[in-house]
Structure 1
């Protein structure tokens, strides 16, 4: 899965209410001709990104090129089950990327129009956000 090699701080705060705004960067296609754009805010985990990537590569086979525009660098901690309150913050369990509405998450190029749209539609099923397929 996708995890950062090194982070400045091992455990981060959750962040409150900053995810409600629309995205200001990664809002346009940069590499490919077709992209998958988020319509709602959510935390997307490294497992969900990997599942979407696998679905797209299996559908496209050897044709075309794909870009992943998001990277999970936000650590999420969790305490063990049945651990009493107190005794500090839990251990890092997984990594997520907080995605805002309007963020382009995946891009595809080098395949036919209908094939690219179908691959992105299949990838959208694996993600916890409402999405739309955009094109140049």
Structure 2
């Protein structure tokens, strides 16, 4: 019993040493701000309102047109690069833009862009291709129906809208992603850096590819008699576009 008491006294009488704490404050290095050089602003900074119906002279009757799906098939060979080398929306599949889609794009950008610091330009034409439709309950025959609305056909790789100015990609990305989700075809938000990396990666893969049995080689040599059942568009674009 005496040993236990002495042990407790020794524990209670132990002096608590103070805990030494030290703070180390260092210098924080931030990257230098981005320099916006050689940026050319267009005359009009905001997107203009597109015409819902093309304006024709009074003595010309609005012409009707067939579907002409070739306007939406295949890759875009002209308007597939960013003019201002900054940001934009590029279609990854074919489709049609109606007047309502133009308004979704215009209002979605104008309401969120910073004035006098950002700009946006159209890279597509106003609706010009007529789409006919017959009234509900009409029988087949009787000629082609009346014009219901106008559309703008889009091919894969076409630049829809382009943005730029004194802004970074993070400021524009979320704004344009909300618009991409509302378009009637597949599209993506890109910057000039993303496009450069994409093209460089495609060239690299083509150089290091050791497999000669690609889709183009199979089609050109009619292996397995594939030329009988393949589409004419597969012979033209080798399975990349429909």
TM-score by length of 2: 0.52
- Aligned with residue 159 of structure 2, among 89, 104, 118: 104
**1:16-72 deviations in whole A, cap 9, x for unaligned?**
445321111110012462110000111121211211211111121534111111122
Larger Rg: 2
**1:61-110 deviations in whole A, cap 9, x for unaligned?**
53411111112211111111111222221111111111111000010012
The structure with more helix, counted as a fraction of residues:
2
Higher relative contact order (CA 8 A, sep 6+): 1
Match of 2:112 in 1: 59
- Aligned with residue 42 of structure 1, among 79, 95, 101: 95
Match of 1:132 in 2: 188
Match of 1:69 in 2: 123
Gaps of 5+ in 2: 1-49, 193-242
C-alpha separation between the residues in 1 aligned to 2:185 and 2:161? 13
C-alpha separation between the residues in 2 aligned to 1:51 and 1:117? 16
Larger mean CA deviation between 74-83 and 119-128 belongs to 119-128
Structure 1 runs of 4+ aligned residues shifted over 2 Å read: 6-9, 16-20
RMSD: 2.0
TM-score by length of 1: 0.88
Kindly tell me the number of residue pairs found equivalent between the two proteins.
136
C-alpha separation between the residues in 2 aligned to 1:13 and 1:31? 35
The structure with more strand, counted as a fraction of residues:
1
C-alpha separation between the residues in 1 aligned to 2:55 and 2:71? 26
C-alpha separation between the residues in 1 aligned to 2:156 and 2:173? 20
Match of 2:176, SS state, is: helix
C-alpha separation between the residues in 2 aligned to 1:113 and 1:17? 34
